[in-house]
Amino acid sequence: MKAAVLVFPGSNCDRDMAVAFERAGADVTMVWHKDTALPSDVDIVGVPGGFSFGDYLRCGAIAARSPITASLKAHADRGGYVLGVCNGFQVLTETGLLPGALMRNANLKFVCRALDLRVETSQSDFTSGYNAGDMITIPVAHHDGNYTVDDETLAKLRAEDRIAFTYGANPNGSTADIAGVLSENRRVLGMMPHPERAVDENHGGTDGVAMFRSLVGSLETA
């Protein structure tokens, strides 16, 4: 299974994501944002956390217009898998690959700690390693993680079972406690918490391992 991890100026979780994929059995290529094409045989693209372009203008807005992003969108449009974490989630909303927007945290403070998440659906290759209703602990580190959607979009996300994770205790004011959402075809996941920072006991927990294992396993047998 082939994975690519994008690297923007200001990315700081690209290596973490690559290691998480590698430990799950994926062959990983790092792709610089000025490249114009992804590897031709890539199965999944990881869009990592960090502060791409210093979060100037709007978090993820400049990265969403980098040369590689056109190839990212084309990959998703033809049914390829994409995982966007934290700043990567912001990039995915800026590109229109996922609905909604990530706004400034309601308390106007940077949040950095491990939080309990509820798995809302196991019906995706990202979450099939969990059971719906499971509580897992995943770190967060963000200042603009307040996921915001209108009532119509929220109703659609709920009706289509596209809310992947919710917070046990909402840290940022996110609509309906949402921590992660899926695309309509369930092959794009964006989430603010960092599963790649929960794949080793030395991280303080391993609740992120199941995501990478189930995802890589699903793609290897597809």
Catalytic center residues:
86, 194, 196
Closest CA to 137 of 161, 113, 120: 113
d(CA 186, CA 155): 17
8 A C-beta contact, residue 125 and residue 81: yes
8 A C-beta contact, residue 67 and residue 33: yes
As to burial, measured by CB atoms within 10 angstroms (0-12 exposed, 13-18 middle, 19+ buried), residue 60 is: buried
d(CA 62, CA 73): 15
The string over 165-204, giving b where at least 16 C-beta atoms fall within 10 Å of a residue's C-beta and e elsewhere, is bbbeebbbbbbebbbbbbbeebbbbbbbbbbbbbbbeebe
Pair of tokens at residue 37: 């094409």
Phi, psi of 40 (to 5 degrees): -65, -25
Pairing relationship of beta strands 111-119 and 101-103 according to DSSP bridges: unpaired
Give the sign of the dihedral formed by CA 141, CA 39, CA 164, CA 148.
Answer: positive
